[in-house]
Chain A
């Protein structure tokens, strides 16, 4: 092999390394784009507020039975769908304001949420969502469908919900309900289904 050929090979490998570096660097930068902040409105604010608001319903458990009960919140209606959906899930994790029981551990964090064109919402939770000693199947069904029902009930374009944990597909939350496929809502588990406004 001539000197020129060697030089050429070395130049080529350097170039490849640079390309690889650029490739990965680009990936990192994407994550740094800040996420716009949307706030949950308090009920007092709403009356005087001019900007459009919309009622949403979160599904919690109640003291009197084993069903999911819809609890109302108001959110800004002008935010994009994905932000509204994130907001609703964060609010669901925070828990009930009227002595309802939240089937999702309060330490759980929403890591990511995105919605596909087919209407499947992928909701990625932190591992805390599994840390619940009440996960017999009744408890697990309540936890899973409080999430699925809340998203599908409030957003018509969400048809099914795929629950992820720490960015990965997980078989179940606690050994019962299949999370390896997107779930349709179960409104038969709800005590009330108020009309949204």
Chain B
């Protein structure tokens, strides 16, 4: 009976904990070496949405997580894997895998029920290895690397981001013009001008009237290793008198201390990959979350050059280059700007924006600004 009593008390003490634990999923990592590679298996009780990025001697796995995970760490010995680092941001985790290899390739695959992400790290020079039969599926969202395009065509990529789309129509004009329509029209024209005149590949974040999340827009740029990111918007304000063109680049909206850390990165963007030690994880996380922080100088230059051309060509009121914490720009890892071409909430400018010639002029102005930027940054 004494034993029963003890068990009883024990279970009662545990029960709130058991209730709580049900919500937390586990992430378990195991590492195995094979003859020619090192294998990392990331197992979870839930299906994961992940993206993988290779950079220098690192592999970074970004795992989307709406709820916290319980991460099981374990010490290990591996030929090609030196260390693992975890860091956490709003809505995701990042696993940093440090390899001991200067040159290597990797093969990733997923298995389901239970979910496993398998990454094989293969040193360069061991011959090509086919993806094994274990590949079951690749995630279709932007967190996966499945939409990574083959970019070995020698062409650099410019991303044009037509603002809004789908149910999210953006600002609306008095005559019923929607921001999402204007931004797409201008973006398509801009794409055509760039492709006709420059040896760059142009990728649109959307080429029809569909909703694309802001994170996915940035992801598209990063997955394509974009050289430049240009977001096209039309402005809206409470006073219909508000008018003119303005070009934004990111404002970090950070404290002095954060800004100091981020500014350090700007001159040392390669350090993103070489920050070491667990204590640095938080810093690294801030950095990856705000990849744009490393490109602010170039972004402001691009903004100035585009704004100059808008003034010259359009004759709209010059509202200048401005900074604000635009969500779409924060995660973009290349020079990035957001152009507010004119005010759709101003009836005069709305009428202009509806005209194809005016849209062409805007596209041409942005193109000229971009060309000037490319001349300075090659």
Taking beta carbons and an 8 Å cutoff, which residues of A are in contact with B? 8, 12, 15-16, 19-20, 23, 61, 63, 66, 101, 103, 133-139, 141-142, 169, 171-172, 174-181, 183-184, 186
Q: Indicate whether A101 sits within 8 Å of B239 (C-beta atoms), given known contacts A23-B16, A137-B324, A180-B327.
A: yes
Taking beta carbons and an 8 Å cutoff, which residues of B are in contact with A? 4, 8, 11-12, 15-16, 19, 90-91, 163-164, 168, 170-172, 179, 213-215, 233-239, 242, 248, 253-255, 324-328, 330, 338, 340, 343-345
**A52 CA to B325 CA, complexed, in Å:** 38
Q: Which residues of B contact A180 (CB under 8 A)?
A: 90-91, 327
Q: Can you list 29 pairs linking A and B with CB atoms under 8 Å apart?
A: A12-B11, A61-B239, A101-B238, A134-B171, A134-B238, A135-B170, A135-B171, A136-B179, A136-B234, A137-B233, A137-B235, A137-B340, A139-B237, A139-B238, A169-B90, A172-B214, A175-B164, A175-B168, A176-B327, A177-B324, A177-B325, A177-B326, A178-B327, A180-B90, A180-B327, A181-B90, A181-B253, A183-B253, A184-B254
**A15 CA to B15 CA, complexed, in Å:** 10
Q: Which residues of B contact A141 (CB under 8 A)?
A: 324
- Identify the interface centre among B91, B170, B340: most chain A CB within 10 Å of its CB: B170
Q: Indicate whether A103 sits within 8 Å of B324 (C-beta atoms), given known contacts A12-B11, A181-B253.
A: no
Q: Which residues of B contact A176 (CB under 8 A)?
A: 233, 324, 326-328
Chain A nearest CB from B2 CB (Å) reads: 13
**A169 CA to B248 CA, complexed, in Å:** 24
- Identify the interface centre among A61, A177, A178: most chain B CB within 10 Å of its CB: A178
Chain A nearest CB from B332 CB (Å) reads: 12
Q: Which residues of A contact B179 (CB under 8 A)?
A: 136
Contact A171 B213 (CB under 8 A): yes
Question: Which residue of A is nearest B338, CB measured?
Answer: A137
Q: Which residues of B contact A8 (CB under 8 A)?
A: 4, 8
Q: Which residues of B contact A178 (CB under 8 A)?
A: 253, 325-327, 330
Chain B nearest CB from A120 CB (Å) reads: 12
Q: Indicate whether A103 sits within 8 Å of B330 (C-beta atoms), given known contacts A12-B11, A23-B16, A137-B340.
A: no
Contact A136 B343 (CB under 8 A): yes
Q: Which residues of B contact A12 (CB under 8 A)?
A: 8, 11
Chain A nearest CB from B290 CB (Å) reads: 9
**A106 CA to B19 CA, complexed, in Å:** 42
Q: Which residues of B contact A142 (CB under 8 A)?
A: 237-238
**A59 CA to B125 CA, complexed, in Å:** 64
Candidates B11, B236, B330; contact of A139 at CB < 8 Å: B236
Chain A nearest CB from B371 CB (Å) reads: 25
Contact B12 A15 (CB under 8 A): yes
Q: Which residues of B contact A16 (CB under 8 A)?
A: 15
Question: When A and B form their complex, which 7 residue pairs have the shortest distance between CB atoms, in order from nearest?
Answer: A136-B236, A136-B171, A178-B327, A136-B235, A138-B237, A178-B325, A133-B172
Q: Indicate whether A175 sits within 8 Å of B237 (C-beta atoms), given known contacts A12-B8, A180-B327.
A: no
Q: Which residues of B contact A186 (CB under 8 A)?
A: 253
**A59 CA to B163 CA, complexed, in Å:** 28
Question: Which residue of A is nearest B248, CB measured?
Answer: A137
**A179 CA to B12 CA, complexed, in Å:** 42
Candidates B16, B327, B345; contact of A134 at CB < 8 Å: B345
Q: Which residues of A contact B255 (CB under 8 A)?
A: 184
Contact A136 B233 (CB under 8 A): yes
Chain A nearest CB from B318 CB (Å) reads: 14
Candidates A63, A66, A136, A183; contact of B344 at CB < 8 Å: A136
Contact B214 A20 (CB under 8 A): no
Question: Which residue of A is nearest B233, CB measured?
Answer: A137
Contact B327 A172 (CB under 8 A): yes
Candidates A103, A171, A181; contact of B214 at CB < 8 Å: A171
Q: Which residues of A contact B324 (CB under 8 A)?
A: 137, 141, 176-177
Q: Indicate whether A136 sits within 8 Å of B237 (C-beta atoms), given known contacts A23-B16, A169-B90, A175-B164.
A: yes
Question: Which residue of B is nearest A133, CB measured?
Answer: B172
Q: Which residues of A contact B237 (CB under 8 A)?
A: 66, 134, 136, 138-139, 142
Question: Which residue of A is nearest B1, CB measured?
Answer: A4
Chain B nearest CB from A110 CB (Å) reads: 21
Question: Which residue of B is nearest A15, CB measured?
Answer: B12
Chain B nearest CB from A107 CB (Å) reads: 16
Q: Which residues of B contact A103 (CB under 8 A)?
A: 238
Question: Which residue of B is nearest A177, CB measured?
Answer: B325
Q: Indicate whether A139 sits within 8 Å of B16 (C-beta atoms), given known contacts A176-B326, A181-B90, A181-B253.
A: no
Q: Which residues of B contact A172 (CB under 8 A)?
A: 214, 327
Given contacts A137-B233, A139-B237, A171-B327, 5 further A-B contacts (CB under 8 A): A19-B15, A23-B16, A137-B324, A176-B326, A178-B327
Q: Which residues of B contact A177 (CB under 8 A)?
A: 324-327
Chain B nearest CB from A127 CB (Å) reads: 14
